[in-house]
Amino acid sequence: MSSPISAARQTVYLNGCFLPLAEAKISVMDRGFLFGDGVYEVIPVFGHKLLRGDAHLRRLQHSLDRISLQNPMSDSDWMQLFARVLEKNPGENRAIYLQISRGVYPSRDLTVKSGYPATIFMMVLPVKEIDLALLAKGIKAITIEDFRWDACDIKSTSLVASVMLRQQATRAKVEDAVLVKHGYVTEGTASNLFLVDGNTLITPPTGHQLLSGITREIILDLATENNIPVIQRPVSQQALYHADEIWLASSTREIAPVVKLDDQLISKGAAGPMWQRMMGWYQLQKQAGR
Ligand code: PDD
């Protein structure tokens, strides 16, 4: 069932006001617009429950600290604001998009100055109900050299590199790309990567080369709870082609099995048994909202 939120009827939050999406305007001098000088979060909401809202706020704080931008609100104020924006945009499966930029300066100047309030924008994105049968058919991906910067742990709004990488995947007529840096896998264009080897789940360790995904965190917790061995270690590009399963995971995509990578079939071209189990646990987690 699709969500009733449509762009035309969206009520968004901008700098203290709730207003229709079409009326939400920012200055062309906003540093988010001029420099991509800002950070964001995408927080999934199932039913009326945020899925790991606390973890998303923790990551938001990390991103803000990394760019030396003060958090404009306390966690409890954020939670209250999330509740209000959700109330104004009813629906079942949704995601809160939150963006904070360094605000508007009088002139275009890279130098950071104090005294200018951050720009805070929030909207509610409809998220399609996952069709498990369709998802089980899997996605195709290609490997691409990861030419992004050395600060991928920041959920930064400077996303032009990701746009270019996704464009390469689209041109290759596949859904996504697995990014490879110096022979080792980092992540997807907007997702984290997992590999299944026998009964073991393997994922690259967090650091400056990839975003510390909250879905990744949930998957690791679920694996541990269910006695699935987990190894966080560098994954070579070659290891991908020998994997029993490959998954790409994010808040909006959940867990997508990759069934074809470059020219090679993965897990015989269909979702594997570990994916089936993990998706079952993940769906329960969504319902519980933990
Ligand atoms: N992106 N890596 C990158 C580069 C991402 O952009 C994302 C998510 C993830 C997964 O993070 P999480 O599990 O917290 O969603 C990993 C979001 C969904 C986006 O940009 O829309």
Q: Band of the pLDDT at 8, cuts 50, 70, 90?
A: low
- pLDDT tens-digit profile of 204-215? 999 999 999 999
Q: For 174, phi and psi rounded to 5 degrees?
A: -125, 165
Nearest CA to ligand 1 atom 20: 190
Query: CA neighbours within 13 Å on the CB side: how many for 141?
Result: 27
CA of 143 to the centre of ligand 1 (A): 18
98, 63 contact by CB (below 8 A): no
Please work out whether the CB of residue 254 comes within 6 Å of at least one atom of ligand 1.
no
Nearest CA to ligand 1 atom 4: 190
Domains of the chain with CATH codes = 7-126 (3.30.470.10), 132-288 (3.20.10.10)
Nearest CA to ligand 1 atom 16: 191
- pLDDT tens-digit profile of 90-143? 998 999 999 999 999 999 999 999 999 999 999 999 998 889 999 999 999 999
Instruction: Give the residue, out of 39, 40, 42, 210, with the most ligand 1 atoms within 8 A of its beta carbon, to mutate for a pocket test.
Output: 42
Q: Band of the pLDDT at 152, cuts 50, 70, 90?
A: very high
The alpha carbon dihedral of 178, 65, 32, 12 has a sign of positive
Please work out whether the CB of residue 250 comes within 6 Å of at least one atom of ligand 1.
yes
- Which is the closest atom of ligand 1 to the Cα of 44? 15
Angle at which helix 53-66 crosses helix 75-87, to 10 degrees, equals 120
Query: CA neighbours within 13 Å on the CB side: how many for 210?
Result: 30
- pLDDT tens-digit profile of 10-30? 999 999 999 999 999 999 999
Please work out whether the CB of residue 95 comes within 6 Å of at least one atom of ligand 1.
no
Q: What is the pLDDT of residue 4?
A: 53
Taking residues 34-51, what's their average pLDDT? Answer: 96
Encode the chain in three state secondary structure.
Answer: CCCCCCHHHCEEEECCEEEEHHHCCCCCCEHHHHHCCEEEEEEEEECCEECCHHHHHHHHHHHHHHCCCCCCCCHHHHHHHHHHHHHCCCCCEEEEEEEEECCECCCCCCCCCCCCCCEEEEEEEECCCCCHHHHCCCEEEEEEECCCCCCCCCCECCCHHHHHHHHHHHHCCCCEEEEEECCEEEEECCCEEEEEECCEEEECCCECCECCCHHHHHHHHHHHHCCCCEEECCCEHHHHHCCCEEEEEECCCEEEEEEEECCEECHHHCCCHHHHHHHHHHHHHHHHCC
Q: For 244, phi and psi rounded to 5 degrees?
A: -75, -35
166, 177 contact by CB (below 8 A): yes
Please work out whether the CB of residue 213 comes within 6 Å of at least one atom of ligand 1.
yes
Please work out whether the CB of residue 42 comes within 6 Å of at least one atom of ligand 1.
yes
Q: What is the pLDDT of residue 3?
A: 45
Amino acid letter for position 101 = S
Instruction: Give the residue, out of 60, 156, 191, with the most ligand 1 atoms within 8 A of its beta carbon, to mutate for a pocket test.
Output: 191
CA of 34 to the centre of ligand 1 (A): 23
Query: CA neighbours within 13 Å on the CB side: how many for 135?
Result: 18
Q: What is the set of active-site residues? A: 155
Please work out whether the CB of residue 211 comes within 6 Å of at least one atom of ligand 1.
yes
Q: What is the pLDDT of residue 282?
A: 97
Q: Band of the pLDDT at 1, cuts 50, 70, 90?
A: very low
Nearest CA to ligand 1 atom 8: 190
Query: Is residue 249 over pLDDT 70?
Result: yes
Amino acid letter for position 60 = L
**Burial, 200: exposed, middle or buried (Cβ in 10 Å; 0-12, 13-18, 19+)?**
middle
CA of 40 to the centre of ligand 1 (A): 10
Q: Band of the pLDDT at 177, cuts 50, 70, 90?
A: very high
Nearest CA to ligand 1 atom 5: 190
216, 249 contact by CB (below 8 A): yes
Q: What is the pLDDT of residue 226?
A: 98
Q: What is the pTM of this model?
A: 0.96
- Taking the C-alpha atoms of residue 19 and residue 263, their distance in angstroms, rounded to an integer, is 48
